[in-house]
Amino acid sequence: MATDIRLKESLPDITEALVATYTECSRINHLGHKPLPSREAIVDILADLLDILYPGYGRRQNLHTGNVEFHVGDVIDGLHDKLTQQIARAMRHENCQESDEADFEALAQQKAIELLKRLPDVRARLELDAQAAFEGDPAAKSFPEIIFCYPGVEAVTIYRIAHELLLLEVPLIRRKMTEHSHSKT
């Protein structure tokens, strides 16, 4: 805790000076009633996607044929809601010049459903990616080693998801996903 309380008396002046820059430097503000997608929600969405694309390797362990469908259904249901909200925010931001009458939630839900429908095909490509990583690394012992240990596999997975979002014309989220992946590798 500060020892000289008198120094805190300058805080209102500092606040006023900083807020004054919000008009002068307006290009680096995002003020108003149209929130951007949440960084934390995007990372959470990625974790959910990784959980269902690579079941048993992520947050949920002890999956088997008796419970995997329930687990995936539960994650898919949550992903639908999270994706719809974040895609709507991204689209609303991207189309801020359009009428406020646009139903971004309905458009976002369609895009979220379409992304989820594409996941089986993405998963098939990911198996080929894992096979290529296995065949390309003489030190690799198994597919589980590659999926569990190789950061490049996670990066490729995220890039494949981001590519699907690109095809669906979803702004911002795909960039945040790839930048998140880039920061980890």
In the numeric block, which tokens belong to residue 23?
């008009």
Tell me if 24 is assigned to some domain.
Answer: no
Tell me if 22 is assigned to some domain.
Answer: no
Predicted structure pTM score = 0.88
Tell me if 17 is assigned to some domain.
Answer: no
Q: What is the pLDDT of residue 32?
A: 80
pLDDT in tens, 103-127: 999 999 999 999 999 999 999 999 9
Among 154, 143, 180, 145, residue whose Cα is nearest residue 53: 154
**CA-to-CA separations, 69 to 63, 65, 73, 127, 170, in angstroms, rounded:** 9, 7, 6, 19, 28
Q: What is the pLDDT of residue 97?
A: 59
Tell me if 5 is assigned to some domain.
Answer: no
Q: What is the pLDDT of residue 73?
A: 97
pLDDT in tens, 42-60: 999 999 999 999 999 988 8
pLDDT in tens, 64-107: 999 999 999 999 999 999 999 999 999 998 887 555 667 999 99
Tell me if 11 is assigned to some domain.
Answer: no
Q: What is the pLDDT of residue 183?
A: 85
Kind plus residue range of the DSSP H or E element containing 101: none
Residue 174 and residue 87 in contact, taking contact as beta carbons nearer than 8 Å? no
Tell me if 42 is assigned to some domain.
Answer: yes
Among 34, 38, 60, 36, residue whose Cα is nearest residue 47: 60
| pLDDT > 70: percent of the chain | 96
Tell me if 133 is assigned to some domain.
Answer: yes
pLDDT in tens, 127-148: 999 999 999 999 999 999 999 9
**Rounded Cα distance, 110 and 143, in Å:** 34
Q: What is the pLDDT of residue 31?
A: 85
What domain range is 108 assigned to?
35-184
Q: What is the pLDDT of residue 113?
A: 98
Tell me if 28 is assigned to some domain.
Answer: no
Which domain CATH number covers 123?
1.10.3130.10
Q: What is the pLDDT of residue 26?
A: 85
Q: For the chain, what is the domain count?
A: 1
Q: What is the pLDDT of residue 106?
A: 96
